Amino acid sequence: MAANSGVNYFYTEASGAGTGDVATLVSPLIDLTSLTTPSVEFFYHMFGGQIGSLDLEINDGTGWANVVTLGPCQIQTAQADAWLSQISDLSAYAGATVQFRFIATSNGSFEGDISLDDFKVDELPACPNPSILTATNITDSTADLGWTENGMSTIWNIEYEPCGFTPGTMDPAAVQVTGTTMNPLSIAGLSSQTCYEFYVTSDCGAGAFSNMVGSFSFETACAAFVAPYTEGFETFTVSTSFVEENCWSTPQTTGYTWDVSGAGTGSTGTGPLAAATGTNFSLQKQVLAC
């Protein structure tokens, strides 16, 4: 992974970490007296199956206070995804001399590196970018789209569509919601088991707009099957690390797990030799830890 700009960036080395471990990075003191409406901005990359959380805190001499929390869990969905910007209003600290600290909290080990680049304290832009896009209350046909407003805007433009579209191109399949005052924004009419992504732009009035921020992707849930319903697991991928397929899922990925087989369970003295019908069947496997 490359830096957001230049060559170097900070990252947490999670290989030797355990759940709940903390790594702290402290800034120098910064005098804000020259800024009218100060802000702090940084770029981050949080991809991996064991990503925890990242907190930014500020201290003006009266004690540490939280500015923003990112996570827990990964925010980027691929290593090649772009770095994301987070900007926060510090007008409450105008005229003060402050210090910042980043606190990364681990959620595991090897797949938990959190990266940080391009830290800046400067004037708050006229129309700051929104950040921390979310999708919650997801069903087979609806979702609530949310974001964090980092300025004073109360109006936003939203664009969403199945994954893979290019925003701002008047794609006929895209849905544009202009001038909404709802955050979160509830959307409906979605297709089940489908990847969607959305973008947000803040409208600050008087012709001032933020950059378009996104995308944030999510997948709609399975629709209910109509009985009679039969599943012989024949279309499932044979795997010893089953998580989700064909609307079946399991929360267990280690220890006592459900796997998919077409020829025995892989253990001696237990399980069948073949499926009841067809080829594949689901099995439970227990791995004893030391």
The whole-number pLDDT of residue 284 equals: 54
Q: Which of 8-17, 98-107, 250-259 has the highest mean pLDDT?
A: 98-107
Could you tell me the CA-to-CA distances from 49 to 107, 116, 242 in Å, in that order? 9, 18, 15
Same domain, 14 and 119: yes
Task: Tell me how far apart the alpha carbons of residues 76 and 157 are, in angstroms, rounded to a whole number.
Answer: 22
CATH code of the domain covering residue 40: 2.60.120.200
| Whether residue 118 is found in the same domain as residue 148 | no
Q: Indicate if 162 and 85 belong to the same structural domain.
A: no
Give domain status of residue 225, yes or no: no
**What single letter denotes the amino acid at residue 137?**
N
Same structural domain for residues 29 and 108?
yes
8 Å CB contact between 83 and 43:
yes
Q: Same domain, yes or no, for 20 and 68? A: yes
pLDDT of 281: 58
What CATH code is carried by the domain that includes residue 187?
2.60.40.10
User: In this model, does residue 76 exceed pLDDT 60?
Assistant: yes
Which of these three, 123, 141, 161, is where a domain ends?
Answer: 123
Q: How many CB atoms lie within 10 A of CB 129?
A: 22
How far is 183 from 165, CA to CA, in rounded Å? 23
Q: 231 in a domain, yes or no?
A: no
Burial of 28 (0-12, 13-18, 19+ CB in 10 A): exposed
Is 263 domain-assigned? Answer: yes
Judgement on whether residues 41 and 77 belong to the same structural domain of the protein = yes
Alpha carbons 187 and 14: distance in angstroms, whole number: 38
The range of the structural domain enclosing residue 52 comes to: 10-123
Residue 38 tokens, joined: 């100060």
Residues 32 and 99 placed together within one structural domain of the fold: yes
Exposure on the CB side of residue 147, measured as CA atoms within 13 A: 31
Domain boundary among 83, 104, 123: 123
pLDDT for position 285: 52
Whether 93 is covered by a domain: the verdict is yes
CA dist 53 to 11, 42, 65, 121, Å? Answer: 13, 15, 16, 22
Q: Are 17 and 106 in contact (CB under 8 A)?
A: yes
In a domain, 230, yes or no: no
Question: Of 98, 123, 148, at which residue does a domain stop?
Answer: 123
Distance set, CA 224 to CA 191, 192, 231 (Å): 13, 10, 14
Say if 177 falls within a structural domain: yes
Q: How many domains does the chain have?
A: 3
- Least confident piece of the model among 40-49, 60-69, 205-214, 253-262: 253-262
- Residue 289: is its pLDDT beyond 70? no
Cβ distance 282 to 257 under 8 Å?
Answer: no
Residues 14, 109 within the same domain: yes
215 in any annotated domain: yes
Res. 288: pLDDT tops 50: no
| C-alpha closest to that of 208 among 132, 151, 167, 123 | 151
Q: Looking at the structure, tell me whether residues 113 and 15 fall in a common domain.
A: yes
The pLDDT score that the predictor gives to residue 283 is: 56
Q: Which residues of 37-74 are buried (b: 16+ CB within 10 A; e: fewer)?
A: ebbbbbbbbbbbebbbbbbbbbbbeeeeeebbebbeeb
Q: Give the model's confidence band at 141: pLDDT under 50 very low, under 70 low, under 90 confident, else very high.
A: very high
Q: Kindly state whether residues 63 and 90 are assigned to the same domain.
A: yes
Q: Are residues 249 and 176 in the same domain?
A: no
User: Domain for residue 211, yes or no?
Assistant: yes
Distance of CA 30 to the CA centre of its chain: 30
Q: Are residues 58 and 90 in the same domain?
A: yes
